[in-house]
């Protein structure tokens, strides 16, 4: 990456000059030198990780300079693409051409040798369209060495699929929403918490980025009105919270359960149910 020799020597001195000691009964038993890595919490660690990831990214992009390399099929005028990476999660796009797959694996092998970071093959998979011939599946498995995965799979929390959107593809989303609904059903969050959530919703609706200032062209309360009244029909969490609280209050009044008996005897007694 054309770093100056001075920078390389400085980084190497920091990495190779780590000493550790073991404590036994509160006493240090000598020191020993680390053979790899930096100290935990060292601010240099994320910088080195980013540099090593940049080496992998550039090496994969350099494959396009090889005329014999057959990459992932892209629209005619779009930029070539063969990988996306976020932290330590990397997804590589590639054709089923066996020789090209071997070149990709050669880049990954070279990265392992240089960085001493090993690919977790147990958590890595390769994916192909269901209509691909079995011979290509076999050739891909022989070239890659990973287990075959099935669509859809999740990358950075987002389901990746190519077929029609079936309900079972979104089971994780349904479970998460139901969990949040249950949380709202049994607790009554303060109004300031709900207002904070409303601000987050409004920022998501009006802003193009998470941070920074933006112009909100209408109040959130206005957007929560029905469309017939000039709003967009968004749900107000304040109204939802009141409705769920009313349902909880109805359970207190009508349900004769162990929970009801405890709550009434401890908190309600002769007071109104709303006091609880």
pLDDT per position as a tens digit, 189-236: 777 887 888 788 888 777 766 666 777 778 888 888 888 888 888 888
Residue with tokens 């390399």, as numbered in its chain: 69
**Could you tell me the two tokens for 66?**
């090889």
Same domain for 156 and 64? yes
Same domain for 132 and 192? no
Q: Is residue 165 part of a domain?
A: no
Same domain for 110 and 148? yes
- Residues of the chain with pLDDT below 70 are 1, 35-41, 181-186, 208-212, 259, 263, 267-276
Same domain for 10 and 70? no
Q: Is residue 94 part of a domain?
A: yes
Backbone angles phi, psi at 75, to 5 degrees: -55, 155
**Could you tell me the two tokens for 256?**
């004769």
- Give residue 41's region: left, alpha or beta (phi > 0; psi -120 to 50): left
Same domain for 71 and 129? yes
Same domain for 203 and 155? no
| Range(s) of the domain holding residue 19 | 1-40
Which of 138, 160, 182 lies at the terminal end of a domain, its last residue? Answer: 160
Buried b (16+ CB within 10 A) or exposed e, 179-212: eeeeebeeeeeeeeebeeebeeebeeeeeeeeee
Same domain for 139 and 191? no
What does pTM read for this prediction? 0.57
Q: Is residue 166 part of a domain?
A: no
| 101 closest CA partner among 65, 137, 74 | 137
Q: Is residue 167 part of a domain?
A: no
Q: Is residue 224 part of a domain?
A: yes
Task: Report whether the peptide linkage leading into residue 152 is cis, meaning its omega lies within 30 degrees of zero.
Answer: yes
| 188 closest CA partner among 145, 235, 137, 247 | 247
Same domain for 135 and 209? no
Count of structural domains within the chain: 3
Q: Is residue 112 part of a domain?
A: yes
105 neighbors 82 (Cβ within 8 angstroms): no
Same domain for 91 and 72? yes
Q: Is residue 100 part of a domain?
A: yes
pLDDT at 94: 87
Beta strand 89-92 pairing with 125-126: unpaired
Same domain for 54 and 156? yes
By the 10 Å C-beta count (0-12 exposed, 13-18 middle, 19+ buried), 101 is classed as buried
pLDDT at 267: 67
Same domain for 144 and 225? no
Same domain for 180 and 268? yes
Q: Is residue 11 part of a domain?
A: yes
């Amino acid at each position: 990456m054309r770093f100056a020799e001075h920078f390389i020597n400085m980084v190497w001195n920091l990495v190779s000059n780590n000493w550790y000691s073991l404590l036994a009964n509160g006493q240090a038993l000598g020191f020993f030198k680390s053979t790899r890595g930096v100290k935990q919490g060292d601010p240099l660690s994320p910088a080195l990780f980013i540099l090593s990831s940049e080496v992998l990214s550039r090496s994969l992009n350099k494959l396009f300079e090889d005329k014999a390399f057959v990459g992932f099929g892209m629209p005619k005028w779009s930029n070539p693409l063969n990988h996306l990476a976020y932290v330590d999660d990397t997804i590589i796009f590639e054709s089923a051409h066996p020789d090209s797959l071997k070149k990709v694996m050669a880049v990954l092998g070279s990265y392992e040798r240089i960085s001493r970071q090993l690919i977790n093959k147990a958590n890595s998979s390769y994916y192909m369209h269901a209509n691909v011939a079995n011979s290509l599946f076999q050739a891909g498995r022989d070239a890659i060495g990973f287990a075959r995965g099935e669509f859809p799979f999740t990358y950075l929390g987002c389901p990746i699929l190519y077929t029609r959107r079936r309900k079972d593809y979104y089971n994780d989303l349904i479970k998460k929403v139901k969990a949040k609904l249950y949380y709202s059903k049994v607790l009554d969050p303060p109004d300031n918490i709900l207002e904070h959530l409303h601000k987050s919703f409004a920022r998501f609706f009006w802003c193009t980025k998470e941070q920074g200032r933006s112009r909100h062209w209408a109040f959130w309360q206005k957007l929560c009105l029905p469309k017939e009244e000039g709003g967009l029909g968004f749900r107000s969490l304040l109204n939802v919270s009141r409705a769920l609280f009313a349902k909880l209050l109805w359970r207190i009044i009508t349900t004769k359960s162990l929970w009801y008996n405890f709550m009434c005897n401890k908190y309600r007694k002769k007071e109104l149910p709303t006091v609880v």
